[in-house]
Amino acid sequence: MELATAIVLLVLALVILFAAIKIVPQGREFTVERFGRYTRTLKPGISFLTPFVEGIGRRVNMMEQVLDVPRQEVITKDNAVVQVDGIVFIQVMDAAAAAYRVDNLNYAIAQLAMTNLRTVVGSMELDEVLSQRDQINSRLLHVIDAATSPWGVKVARIEIKDLQPPPDITSAMARQMKAERERRAVITEADGEKAAAIARAEGAKQAAILEAEGRREAAYRDAEAREREAEAEAKATAMVSEAIARGDVNAINYFVAQKYVEAFARLADSPQQRTVIVPSEMSALVGSLAGVGELVKTVREDTPRPPPRSGRGSAVPPTGG
C-alpha cells in the first residue's frame, strides 16, 4: 500500500515537473495562456509555468518562411490573359499578434497576395507586365506589408516566379522580335555600306590628289627640259650664226642637213607611203651628218651646265633669243 502511494506521488511529481518546466527551441516562441487567456510569450530557452494554471497556447515559428502564391489567370489592362504565380517571404515579428489576430496565417497571406497580384497586373498593359517585374514586385510588397503589419508579420520580399502569356501572343511577340532584329540588321548593313562608300570616296580623292601632284611634277620636269633644250638651241643658233658670219661651211651644212633629215623622217612616217625611196645622194647626207656632229660637239663643249634647281615649285624663266 505504501509502495503504491509512493508510485502515485512520484508520477504526480513528474507531471507537475513537466508542466512547470518548458524549454523553447531557437527560432520558436510559445504563447502562455492562463485559463485560456493570453498572458505572456516565452522566448527561446528554459521557462517555468504555474502547474495546472498556465499552459502553452500557440507555438509560433519566428524564422523567415517562404509561401507559394498559386498560379492564376489575370486579365491585363489591354485585355490580354496571362498566367501568373509567385512566392512571398515572410517573418513573424510578434508571436501574440500572429497567433491571436488571424486564423491560419499562411493561408491568409497567400490569399492576400493573390488578390493584390490580380489588382496590380490588371492595372498594367501586357508589355509593361512583361518588362516591369520589379515594379510589380515593389507595388505588391508595399501593399501586402501594410496589410499584414497588424498581424505581427513582416513581408521581406515578393517575387513573380512565372509569367506566361497566351500562345498566340507569344507567337506574335516572336515575330515582332524577329522583325526588329531584321530591321537592326538592315540598318547595320546600310551603315556599313555608307562607311565603305565614304572610304572609297576618300581613297578616290587621295588618288586624284596624288595624280594631280604627279602631273604637276611631270609638267615641271617637262618645262625644265624644254628650258634646257631652248637654252641649248639658242646657244647653238647663236654659234651657228657666228660661224656663218665667219664663212664656216659646217654651219651651212647644219641647217641643210637638219631640214633634209626632217623631210626624210616625214616621208618615212607617212601612213600612205608603203615604199620608202632612199635618195642616191646618201654620201652627201652622210657628209652633212658628219658636219652636224662636229658642230653639236663644239656646242656641247662650249655650253656650261645650268646649276640644279633648289625648289620644285619655282617658275620657269622665259627663254631669250
Q: What is the pLDDT of residues 153-169, one digit of tens each?
A: 999 999 998 888 888 87
Looking at the chain, which runs of residues are DSSP E strands?
Answer: 21-24, 28-34, 37-42, 45-48, 54-61, 65-75, 81-92, 153-164
Is residue 152 within 8 A of residue 94, CB to CB? The reply is yes
pLDDT score at 237:
73
Amino acid at 138: S
Helix (H, G, I), strand (E, B) or coil at 7: helix
Q: State whether the Cα torsion 266-271-272-276 is positive or negative.
A: positive
φ/ψ of residue 46, rounded to 5:
-95, 140
Task: Provide DSSP, 290-304.
Answer: HHHHHHHHHHHHHSP
- Cα–Cα dist 183/177, whole Å: 10
> For 266-311, what is each residue's pLDDT tens digit?
666 656 555 555 555 555 555 555 555 555 565 455 555 555 444 4
pLDDT score at 312:
43
In which residue are the cell numbers 656632229 written? 293
Q: Which of 44, 40, 82, 39 is nearest to 62 (CA)?
A: 44
pLDDT score at 294:
58
Is residue 27 within 8 A of residue 48, CB to CB? The reply is no
Contacts of 44 (CB under 8 A, 6+ apart): 24, 25, 26, 27, 28, 29
pLDDT score at 319:
40
Q: Across the chain, how many H-helices and E-strands are there?
A: 8, 8
Helix (H, G, I), strand (E, B) or coil at 79: coil
Residue ranges in the chain modelled with pLDDT below 70: 1, 240, 244, 246-321
pLDDT score at 80:
86
pLDDT score at 129:
87
